[in-house]
Amino acid sequence: MEHRENWTQQGIAELVEAQRTFFTANQTLDVDWRLAQLKKLKSAIMSHRAALEAALRADLGRTAEEAYMLDIGTSIAEINETVASLRRWARPETHWSGLMCFPSTVTKVYKLPYGVSLIVSPFNYPVLLSLGVLTAAIAGGNTAVIKASSKSPACTAALRDLIADCFPADYVTVVSGGHETADACLAQRFDKIFYTGSPKVGRHVLETAAGNLTSVGLELGGENGNWCIVRKDADLKDAARKIAFFKACNSGQICIDINQVAVAREVAEPFLRELKAAFIRQLGANPAVNAEYSRMISRAAYDKCCAWADRYADRLIYGGERSETELKFAPAILYPVGVDEDIVQTELFSPLLPVVPFPDAQIDELLRAIAAREHGLALYLFTKDMAWAKKTMATQQYGGGCINEVCLQLMVKGVPFNGVGHSGMGAYHGEWGFREFTHPSTVLIGSNRFNLPLREHPFTGRGRWKRAVIERFLR
C-alpha cells in the first residue's frame, strides 16, 4: 500500500485493513526485526534532521537548538533506551505455578502486541509526541497509523516524508487532516489507541474507543493546569530562574508546564522581582521581538491569550508585549490572583502566568483546594523543607513533578510519564511505553503425569479427603 497525502474514510478503512494483514503475518513478533526497525527510524530522524528543524521553525518559531533539545534529540534518546533494553523487556517471564497446580509447575507470561495501533499526536511537540510514542508501538510489535496534528502542517508534512522513506504504509504511516480525518480514524476498529492532547478531546476518544472495547492510553494536560508552589523558605532566585525558563519555553504550550504559581505572601514581592529579572535576563526587554522566542501555534491561540491578558489588564505587572504578525506574546505575570478565580481553574497553554499569594502558614488549605480540583499532569514545589516536600509529593494526586526543579522529570530514563484522572491514563517512556503497547498473556504449561484428582468430583464419600488438602494449599 502506498503513502497518501489526502485521506478519505474509505482510504483509512483500507489502510487499517492493510496493516491488519501485515500484522497477522507475524513479522512484527520477532524482536530482532523490531530492533532493526527502531534503528532504521533513528537513522531516518538523523537524515531528516534539517527538514524537521525547518518544520518546527515554521510551525512554532523554534530555534534549531530548541528543536533538537525538545523534539528531535529526545526522540533519538527514547529510541536509544529502547534498543538497549528491548530484549530484556520482551523476554517471557517464568513463574512457579504453586502447589495447587502440581504437577504443572511452570507458568510463562508472554508480552504480546495489541496489533494495529492509532497514535494521535498534538501540535506542541509534534515530532517527539509522534515518534516517541511510535518507538513504544514498534518496540511492542505493533503496526501504527499516526494521525498528526493539522495545527502544525509543516511538521506533519516532514513526518510524513520521514516515515514514507523509512517504512511501508501497511506497517507505519502518517495520516494528515483535521477533525474529520481524526474521526474517520476513530471510526475504525484499532487494537490500541494512544492520544495526546486536551481532556475534552480525550473524552471523545475514550467514548469512541469504547464501542470496540479498544485499549486506550491518554496523556492530557488536565482541566485546571499544573501548580507550582513557592514556600517562604525557598531559594527565590533559583526558583524564579527555573520558572521563567519553563514558562517561556515553547511560549507555554507544554502539557507539563506551570499554569500558575502559588507563592508565600511573606516573600511574594522579592520573588516577583527575581522572576521579572529572570525573564529579562533570558529573553531581553521585549521577548515579542526576540528571534529565539517561539510563537503561538495559531491565530486562535494568540487571540485567546490576548483575551485573558486584556481581562486581567489591571493586574498585568510584567510582560505581555505582542507581535500580531508573528503571533508572539511575551511572558506575562498577573498578580495578585485569587485561588478561586477562573484563570487558575483553566489550562491556559500560553505564556500567561497567574501568581496566587497565600499565607505560608495556610499551606494545608492551599493543598486541599488544589486536591479538590481535577488532577494535574505535573506538580512543582520550591522549598528547603524536604520532609514537607516529600510528604506532599507522596500524598497529592498528579502525574509527575519535581522538588526545587521544573520539567526534568520528563528526561529521566526508566521512569513513567503519565497522568491521572483528567490528566490521563496509561504511561509511556522506556519500558513503560513497551508495557503500554503490549498485553501480558499467562500460559501454564501442563503435565500429563502425576496429576492429582483434587479438582475433580466427587468431594463427598471417598473424596472427602480433598477438602482438607485444598484448604491446606490455599490457606
Contacts 24+ apart (CB under 8 A), 360-369: 360/231, 360/232, 360/264, 360/265, 360/266, 363/229, 363/231, 363/388, 366/229, 366/262, 366/339, 367/392, 367/396, 369/339, 369/340
Active site residue 402: no
Can you read off the three cell numbers belonging to residue 430? Answer: 522506556
Q: Which residue has the cell 480525550?
A: 202
Instruction: Report the amino acid identity of residue 31.
Output: V
Give the residue from 255, 225, 233 showing the smallest Cα distance to 404.
Answer: 233
Residue 129 carries which DSSP code?
I
Active site residue 219: yes
Of 155, 185, 255, 402, the catalytic one is 255
Sequence-distant (6+) residues with CB within 8 A of 373 are: 223, 224, 345
d(CA 126, CA 104) in angstroms, rounded, equals 50
| Residues recorded for the chain | 475
d(CA 39, CA 239) in angstroms, rounded, equals 39
**How are beta strands 215-220 and 226-230 bridged, if at all?**
unpaired
d(CA 416, CA 397) in angstroms, rounded, equals 15
Residues β-bridged to residue 403: 381
d(CA 156, CA 57) in angstroms, rounded, equals 13
Give the residue from 121, 185, 124 showing the smallest Cα distance to 149.
Answer: 121
d(CA 304, CA 198) in angstroms, rounded, equals 16
Sequence-distant (6+) residues with CB within 8 A of 163 are: 3, 44, 146, 172, 173, 174
Helices 236-248/268-283 angle, 10° precision: 50
Can you read off the three cell numbers belonging to residue 368? Answer: 486541599
d(CA 114, CA 198) in angstroms, rounded, equals 25
Residue 72 carries which DSSP code?
I
Give the number of other Cβ atoms within 10 Å of residue 265's Cβ: 16
Residues β-bridged to residue 94: 108
Q: Which residue has the cell 500524598?
A: 395
Q: 130 near 119, Cβ under 8 Å?
A: yes
d(CA 133, CA 123) in angstroms, rounded, equals 14
Of 53, 66, 78, 219, the catalytic one is 219
Active site residues: 219, 255
